[in-house]
C-alpha cells in the first residue's frame, strides 16, 4: 500500500503532466491557425495580382499604365473599332469625348491616321465631328473627337419618316458643301459614317480617314482603291479621285438605300464594280412606291454614271432637296 505522501506526489505529477499536455495542444493549435492564415494572405495576394494583371491586359494597346487612360483622358468604355483603330468613350474635366486610338503596324495606315488629324485640324463645321486634341499615349497615336450620344444613320433610318430622312441628308449635304469649298473630298460617304444623336437634333459626318485634299499627293499605291464598294462612284475604278462629284454619287447611293432599304448594286466585289460602271440601277419607286417622284429624280441624278450628268455641285443638290421637302410638306 502506498502511503499518503506518495499518493500526493503522484497526484501532483499527474496534474503537471495534464497541464503540459494542454499547453502543448494549445501551442500546436495556434501554430496551425497561424500557418493557415498565412496561406490565406498569400492566396489573397495572388488573386489581387491576377486581377491587376487582367486589368492591364484589357487596356488599349500602347498604354502600360495600371489606370485606364489614353493620355490624360480616362477610358469609360469601347464604343467602336475599325481595321486600324479603336474608338473609346473617354472623359476629362467632367466632359465626354471620343478617343480614336491607332492600332496597327502598317506605316501606310499610320500615315493615313496622321493625315486625318491634319484634315480635321482645318475643319470646323456644325455637321462635322470636331477634333479637340491629339497626341501619343506611350508611343501610340490618338486623336480626341467630339462625342455624339446617339447612333449611326444605318441603325435608325428604318424607323424615320421621309421628312426626317431628308432633313438628315440636308445636314450632311451642308457638311459636304463646306468640305468641297475647302478643296476636301470625303470619299467614304455612307450611312455608317453619319452620326445622329438621340433627339435627331445633331447630325455629324465622321471618319475622315481616307479624305483627300485635292492638292495633296496620294498616300495609296497605284491601283489601290479606298472606300466602300457599294457606295463608290464608277470613275474611281478608272483612277479619278479628285472630283468632288465622287461624294455626290456616294450621297446618292446613301439616299437610295435609306429610302429603299437596299443599295442598288450588290454581289461580290468584281460584280459590284461592274454594276457601278455598266448596269443601270432599278428606279427606287419600283422598290418603294411611297417615294415621291421629285425625290426619285434627285436620287437618280446623283447616281448618274457620267459625272457630267450629275449635280455640278452640292449646293445645287441642296436647293432641289429643299424644294422636295417643301413639296412633301404640302401634300
CB atoms within 10 A of CB 96: 14
CB atoms within 10 A of CB 319: 12
Known catalytic membership, residue 197 = yes
Give me the sign of the Cα torsion angle 305, 307, 308, 312: positive
Residue with cell 493549435: 29
- Catalytic pick from 106, 197, 247, 319? 197
- Alpha-carbon gap, residue 328 to 331, rounded angstroms: 5
DSSP 135: E
| DSSP result, 251-268 | HHHHHHHHHHSS-S--SS
Please classify residue 198 by burial: count the beta carbons closer than 10 Å to its beta carbon, then call 0-12 exposed, 13-18 middle and 19+ buried.
exposed
Nearest Cα residue to 189 out of 164, 171, 216, 207: 207
Can you give the length of the chain in residues? 331
3-state SS class at 275: helix
Q: Are 284 and 299 in contact (CB under 8 A)?
A: yes
3-state SS class at 226: coil
Q: Annotated active-site positions, please?
A: 197
Amino acid at each position: 500500500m502506498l502511503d499518503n505522501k506518495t499518493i500526493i506526489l503522484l497526484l501532483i505529477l499527474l496534474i503537471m503532466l495534464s497541464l503540459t499536455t494542454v499547453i502543448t495542444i494549445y501551442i500546436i493549435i495556434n501554430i496551425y491557425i497561424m500557418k493557415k492564415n498565412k496561406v490565406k494572405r498569400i492566396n489573397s495576394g495572388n488573386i489581387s495580382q491576377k486581377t491587376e494583371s487582367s486589368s492591364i491586359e484589357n487596356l488599349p494597346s500602347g498604354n502600360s499604365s495600371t489606370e485606364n487612360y489614353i493620355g490624360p483622358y480616362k477610358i469609360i468604355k469601347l464604343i467602336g473599332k475599325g481595321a486600324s483603330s479603336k474608338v473609346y468613350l473617354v472623359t476629362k474635366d467632367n466632359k465626354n469625348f471620343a478617343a480614336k486610338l491607332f492600332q496597327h503596324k502598317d506605316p501606310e495606315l499610320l500615315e493615313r491616321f496622321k493625315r486625318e488629324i491634319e484634315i480635321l485640324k482645318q475643319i470646323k463645321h456644325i455637321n462635322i465631328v470636331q477634333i479637340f486634341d491629339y497626341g501619343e499615349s506611350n508611343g501610340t497615336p490618338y486623336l480626341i473627337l467630339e462625342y455624339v450620344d446617339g447612333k449611326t444613320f444605318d441603325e435608325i433610318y428604318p424607323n424615320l419618316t421621309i421628312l426626317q430622312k431628308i432633313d438628315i441628308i440636308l445636314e450632311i449635304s451642308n457638311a459636304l458643301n463646306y468640305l468641297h469649298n475647302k478643296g476636301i473630298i470625303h470619299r467614304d460617304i455612307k450611312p455608317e459614317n453619319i452620326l445622329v444623336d438621340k433627339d435627331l437634333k445633331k447630325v455629324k459626318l465622321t471618319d475622315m480617314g481616307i479624305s483627300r485634299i485635292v492638292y495633296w499627293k496620294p498616300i495609296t499605291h497605284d491601283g489601290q482603291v479606298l472606300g466602300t464598294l457599294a457606295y463608290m462612284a464608277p470613275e474611281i475604278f478608272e483612277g479619278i479621285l479628285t472630283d468632288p462629284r465622287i461624294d455626290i454619287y456616294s450621297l446618292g447611293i446613301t439616299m437610295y438605300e435609306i429610302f429603299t432599304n437596299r443599295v442598288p448594286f450588290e454581289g461580290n466585289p468584281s460584280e459590284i464594280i461592274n454594276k457601278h460602271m455598266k448596269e443601270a440601277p432599278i428606279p427606287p419607286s419600283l422598290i418603294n412606291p411611297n417615294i415621291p417622284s421629285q425625290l426619285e429624280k434627285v436620287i437618280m441624278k446623283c447616281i448618274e454614271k457620267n459625272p457630267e450628268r450629275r449635280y455640278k455641285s452640292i449646293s445645287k443638290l441642296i436647293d432641289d432637296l429643299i424644294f422636295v421637302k417643301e413639296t412633301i410638306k404640302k401634300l
